[in-house]
Structure 1
Amino acid sequence: MHFRSLSPWILQSVVVGFSVNGVIILAFLWVLKAFLEVICTLGSVVFVSILLIRGIWSGVSYFQESRNGKVNDIDDDHRAWTGAQPAT
């Protein structure tokens, strides 16, 4: 037995319409998935680049502060010896 012989013509058109709607919905979801993948990839790239820039910025700031701290320590040691009064 064939499906055509058992089902009326209206039921066949409903099944075909349902199949077409399913294909259209799947195509829309496929395009939406591709769009969201692009958005998420760009967001991840921006996030990682911000983290990288902040890390480099923090490292440079740390080294500058530690270098300035050493210079200030040397100046403080130098000031410790200036407590002597010159002979007049």
Structure 2
Amino acid sequence: MYVSTTSLAHTPTIEQQVFRIISKRKAIRASRVRKTASLARDLRFDTVDVVDIILELERNFSITIPDEVPLTTVGDFVRYVREHAAAA
């Protein structure tokens, strides 16, 4: 079993991890990523980008995000992951 030598104080929050995954998709500066930002309108993500983000979130957090879940803003992603990763 691997035990990290990093203290828990340095563990990124779910919000930080979701922001990182979203910003990395199109090399967007983290400063542009806000919880209120619309992926399509503000960040110019297309459907393929959103699907790739969903797949990355599912892998990283061991969750399933159904197709019918309305995810349009960064905050929607943060909220969904926070609610479902804690239950996993």
TM-score scaled by length of structure 2: 0.20
TM-score normalized by the length of structure 1: 0.20
Which of the two has higher C-alpha Rg? 1
Higher helix share: 1
